[in-house]
Amino acid sequence: MKADSASGSPVGSILRALFANFSIAIIKTITAVMTGSGAMLAESIHSFADCANQLLLLLGLREAKAPESEEHPLGHGRVMYFYSLLVGMMLLLVGGAFSVYKGFEHFIHPEPLEYVGYAILVLLASIALEGYALRGALKHIQKERAGKSLFKWFKETRSSEMLIVTGEDIAAISGLLLALLSLCLAYVTGDSRWDAVGSMMVGGLLIMVAIFVISEIKSLIVGESASPEKNEAMEEFVKSRPEIKTLYRLVSLQWGEKIIVLVQAEMHKTGSEIGLVDATNRVEDSLKASFPDIKYIYFEPDRNKEVHEYEDEEMEDEEMEDEVEQAKA
């Protein structure tokens, strides 16, 4: 379903988003108090929730680097999926559901808006800041996307933290545009209920984004392979090795930013068990060197049982014939 982690550390993208969201959250809150705008209040809550989300992601990245232990022999790479799931839940409940609730409340009990022109300027400035954060995120994932559409990248990426950051940035800009539209309609028509509609639309957008993100994180928690491109490249590499006679199966498991690989293959005859071990080690070492994001390789030398059973039967028949001939002689 999803591509491997984006190249390089995502910390820079997260910090850019944190800076943009915190600056915007402060300005939005002041503006919401001044204007009484429900859409602006929804946007300020959204921005503060995003700040909390980015702090959670930074905490998750720190924990993911913890070394292996007896309790966690494969490391802590998958802890990012837990923190990403928390972020998705916060986006759903704090950002989305609360915005819909406040919008509905303002729609039932409308209040006049003040300083609408100032609020529109704030929204335009916020769009510029969020655009800066989104530009950084898109630049970070550019190599991983490799020409894919953004939607396809969302469906295939194994980088849960960049999935969250990029999704939040897109949702933020979309929400700001909705809030801007609703404020303009409220200003032109003189009906503040348009502002309440905007708040509910922003909340609905956040709920949809949160549900999408949570479903993608769930798939990572259950366990996904490396990207189809990475799997195909690893298979071709193993097949090309002179030690390999037949590759039967290559299975990968995404483990945070790393990959665990299981290989089942028939080796060319080496004449001894030590030779087989050395050949297996050479394949493993070369595979790790060519794909540095591999954490562990589990290699199972095997053989085609049907072919070898047939060959064994032929050898047994030949041996029996030889014994019969010797007995006759």
CATH class, domain 228-328, is alpha beta
- Position 4 confidence tier, pLDDT thresholds 50, 70, 90: very low
| CA distance linking residue 41 with residue 31, whole number of Å | 8
Concatenating the DSSP letter of every residue in 73-134 gives TT-STTHHHHHHHHHHHHIIIIIIIHHHHHHHHHHHS------HHHHHHHHHHHHHHHHHHH
| Mean pLDDT of all residues in 244-268 | 91
Least confident of 141-145, 297-301, 323-327: 323-327
pLDDT, residue 87, reads 83
CB 231 within 8 A of CB 250: yes
CA distances from 146 to 141, 255, 285, 294, 321 (A): 9, 22, 27, 21, 62
pLDDT over threshold 90, residue 285? yes
pLDDT tens digits for range 26-66: 888 888 888 777 777 777 887 888 888 888 888 888 888 88
pLDDT, residue 297, reads 93
Residue owning tokens 């933290």: 161
- Position 1 confidence tier, pLDDT thresholds 50, 70, 90: very low
pLDDT, residue 263, reads 94
pLDDT tens digits for range 72-99: 888 888 888 888 888 888 888 877 888 8
Q: Which helix (H) or strand (E) holds 90?
A: helix 79-90
Q: Where are the domains of the chain?
A: 11-222, 228-328
Q: What are phi and psi of 158, to 5 degrees?
A: -100, 0
pLDDT, residue 289, reads 94
11-222: CATH superfamily: Cation efflux protein transmembrane domain (1.20.1510.10)
Is 53 exposed, middle or buried, given 0-12, 13-18 or 19+ CB atoms closer than 10 A?
buried
11-222 and 228-328 in the same fold: no
pLDDT tens digits for range 231-253: 999 999 999 999 999 999 999 99
Share of the chain above pLDDT 90, in %: 15
Least confident of 47-56, 191-200, 317-326: 317-326
**Complete edge-to-edge strand list for the sheet that includes strand 294-301:** 244-255, 258-267, 294-301
Q: What is the mean pLDDT of the chain?
A: 82
| CA distance linking residue 152 with residue 142, whole number of Å | 13
**Comparing 242 with 257, which gets the higher pLDDT?**
242
pLDDT over threshold 50, residue 310? no
pLDDT, residue 319, reads 54
Sign (positive or negative) of CA dihedral 239, 244, 250, 253: negative
**Neighbour tally for 298: CB within 10 Å:** 11
**Neighbour tally for 282: CB within 10 Å:** 13
Least confident of 45-49, 235-239, 298-302, 304-308: 304-308
| Residues 6 or more apart whose Cβ sits within 8 Å of residue 131 | 173
- Position 195 confidence tier, pLDDT thresholds 50, 70, 90: confident
Q: Which helix (H) or strand (E) holds 24?
A: helix 11-35
Q: What is the pTM of this model?
A: 0.70
| DSSP tag of 5 | P
CB 80 within 8 A of CB 256: yes
| DSSP tag of 157 | B
